[in-house]
């Protein structure tokens, strides 16, 4: 609640400072109904957020130049709401898209520039809307590489990167011509021509170990197009010359969940009488889609092509081996333990005999030691 009150107060402060007059801290404190100390703190927050707060020595007051913000725009309620929600949520440092925090300050500026009657509606509704993305790479140490790549892409400059490759399974060094930046599901990727591969490749920014601009420029080929480059990849890795028509049958339990999502631009769905579905899709490569299918376990069966059935079958067999080994080992230990218990319970007399033999043996050894020392067993007991 306190953070909401602060947001209201800062928006009110922006509104006052944008009015075209200069206000000293006493007047601003009265307008916002807080102390002068709080106003100084709020002014500092505005400055740190990139908002130009001007202090006029002659008038002894603060103001925000009218041109510091976008001119008033005739947004509808739904247009303003969509922009505010997207900027606020996707710029969230915790669950938004990495490196897009400035979008949140943009949302605040946009909100403050709206007409008063629209501003209140947008604020109230936006507080009840949330956007949750899939788990993603936080890219904690990669912000400098992201900024360098975007700058070099703008200037058409090459970048030398040292990269942890999961294709070659070793660290590599290559010069790339960054054509495009793309956020896909969990991370940021740079797509461009690689000098050592001599073709356009995709690099995960989170795996860049080191990067430096190169004093050499490039041109993006006129024929290059991101959609053409990705082709019919299931996600983002296109396997050239590996186009397949895939048909998967999903059982009733998951059929509706699968059918309601637009997974791929080529997908087609046929419903069966038992409420299962046949999922048709055309993909360039089987590796990416195979992992997606396995996520549905026994609820999905590949009908076509045979190559994909074989991949799923092999992986399922390997999983059975892993789990059957552990289960067999565990069962063997349990069986051995149970067998030992049964043997002990089935021969109670043997255990008593054994204990009597041990006691008799102990008594005999004690007598022998006493005789050796010249003391009779009876005297030894009384001494």
Domains of the chain from N-terminus onward: 2-68 (1.10.10.10), 77-126 (no CATH), 143-230 (2.30.30), 231-337 (3.30.70.240)
pLDDT of residue 383: 39
* Sole residue written with tokens 């809307």: 129
- Among 167-176, 252-261, 313-322, 347-356, name the one with the lowest average pLDDT: 347-356
Using a CB cutoff of 8 Å and minimum separation of 24, what contacts does 186-191 make? Answer: 186/134, 186/135, 186/136, 186/137, 187/136, 187/137, 187/139, 188/98, 188/99, 188/139, 188/142, 188/146, 189/236, 190/149, 191/226, 191/229
pLDDT tens-digit map of 229-272:
999 999 999 998 999 999 999 999 999 999 999 999 999 999 99
- Of 371 and 17, the structure prediction assigns the larger pLDDT to 17
With H, G, I as helix, E, B as strand and everything else as coil, classify residue 180. strand
Q: Which of 279, 273, 238 is nearest to 259 (CA)?
A: 279
pLDDT value of residue 191:
97
Q: What confidence score (pLDDT) does residue 1 get?
A: 43
Q: What is the pLDDT of residue 107?
A: 82
Identify the three-state secondary structure at position 248.
strand
Which pLDDT belongs to residue 379?
46
State the chain's mean pLDDT as an integer.
Answer: 84
- Mean pLDDT, rounded, for 170-183: 96
Longest Cα pair distance anywhere in the chain, in angstroms?
121
Distance between terminal CA atoms of the chain?
A: 87
Query: What is the rounded average pLDDT of the residues 360-375?
Result: 54
Which two three-digit tokens encode residue 243? 């186009």
pLDDT digits (tens, 9 = 90+) for 119-173: 777 778 888 888 888 888 889 899 999 999 999 999 999 999 999 998 888 999 9
Tokens representing 26 are 């006493």
pTM over 0.85: no
**H/E run at residue 129:** none
CA torsion, ordered 108, 71, 114, 109, to nearest 10 deg: 0
pLDDT, mean of residues 287-310: 96
The first and second tokens of residue 249, run together, are 């049958």
Q: What is the pLDDT of residue 50?
A: 75
Higher pLDDT residue, 107 or 264? 264
Model confidence at 177: pLDDT above 70: yes
């Amino acid at each position: 609640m306190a953070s909401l009150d602060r947001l209201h107060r800062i928006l009110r402060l922006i509104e006052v400072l944008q009015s075209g007059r200069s206000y000293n801290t006493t007047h601003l404190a009265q307008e916002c109904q807080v102390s002068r100390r709080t106003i100084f703190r709020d002014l500092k927050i505005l400055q740190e957020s990139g908002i130009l707060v001007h202090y006029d020595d002659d008038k002894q007051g603060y103001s925000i130049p009218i041109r510091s913000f976008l001119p008033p725009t005739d947004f509808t309620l739904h247009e303003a709401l969509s922009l505010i929600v997207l900027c606020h949520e996707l710029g969230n440092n915790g669950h938004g898209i990495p490196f897009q925090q400035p979008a949140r300050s943009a949302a605040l500026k946009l909100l403050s520039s709206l007409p008063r009657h629209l501003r209140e509606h947008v604020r109230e509704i936006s507080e009840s809307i949330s956007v949750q993305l899939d788990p993603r790479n936080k890219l904690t140490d990669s912000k400098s590489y992201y900024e360098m790549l975007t700058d070099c892409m703008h200037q058409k400059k090459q970048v030398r990167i040292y990269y942890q490759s999961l294709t070659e399974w070793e660290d590599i060094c290559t010069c790339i011509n960054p054509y495009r930046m793309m956020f896909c599901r969990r991370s940021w990727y740079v797509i461009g021509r690689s000098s050592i591969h001599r073709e356009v490749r995709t690099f995960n920014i989170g795996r860049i170990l080191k990067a430096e601009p190169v004093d050499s420029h490039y041109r993006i080929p006129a024929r290059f197009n991101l959609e053409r480059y990705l082709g019919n990849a299931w996600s983002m890795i296109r396997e050239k010359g590996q186009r397949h028509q895939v048909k998967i049958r999903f059982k009733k339990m998951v059929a509706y969940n699968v059918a309601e999502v637009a997974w791929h631009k080529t997908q087609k769905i046929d419903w069966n009488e038992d409420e299962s579905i046949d999922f048709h899709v055309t993909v360039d490569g089987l590796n990416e889609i195979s992992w997606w299918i396995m996520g549905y376990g026994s609820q999905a069966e590949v009908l076509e092509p045979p190559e994909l059935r074989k991949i799923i079958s092999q992986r399922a067999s390997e999983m059975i081996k892993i789990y059957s080994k552990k289960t067999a080992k565990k069962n063997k230990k349990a069986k051995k333990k149970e067998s030992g218990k049964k043997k002990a319970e089935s021969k109670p007399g043997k255990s008593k005999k054994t204990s009597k033999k041990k006691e008799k043996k102990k008594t005999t050894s004690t007598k022998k030691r006493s005789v050796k020392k010249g003391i009779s067993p009876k005297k030894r007991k009384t001494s």
